[in-house]
Amino acid sequence: MVQILYIGIFGAFGCISRYLVSGWVYNWLGRSLPFGTMAVNILGSLLLGFLMEWGLRSSLMSPEIRMGIATGFMGGFTTFSTFSYETVRLLEEGSLFQAGANILLNVFICLAGALVGIYLARQM
């Protein structure tokens, strides 16, 4: 029961963080591509890679807190469903270049983010 509570609490913070981070990025870079969603997916991939690797190797984080952060916060923060919807909308609008760029940038940069997060955790 405690684990579910952690997931819910951390999930709320993840949703609020997604809203704030993506809004800031859109204000900074504009809306020619879904940069806000992309930034959240990249940052989320890096953070999840780091937190899971570090959490599994360290006794400083309880399994309940790790699950709360990984499932709750990161689940509320990352926006892969939004990425999918925005990509379909770009395709429907005939914006094939933007849709392709959105797919490639999200996939490759998020994978790189996870790799960097894992690397950083292993250096600790």
pTM (predicted TM-score): 0.80
84 contacts 18 by C-beta, under 8 angstroms? no
pLDDT band at 55 (very low <50, low <70, confident <90, very high): confident
Structural domain that includes position 60: 2-123
Encoded tokens for 39: 């930034």
Residue pLDDT, tens place only, 96-105: 999 999 999 9
Residue pLDDT, tens place only, 107-116: 999 999 999 9
Is the pLDDT at 66 greater than 90, yes or no?
no
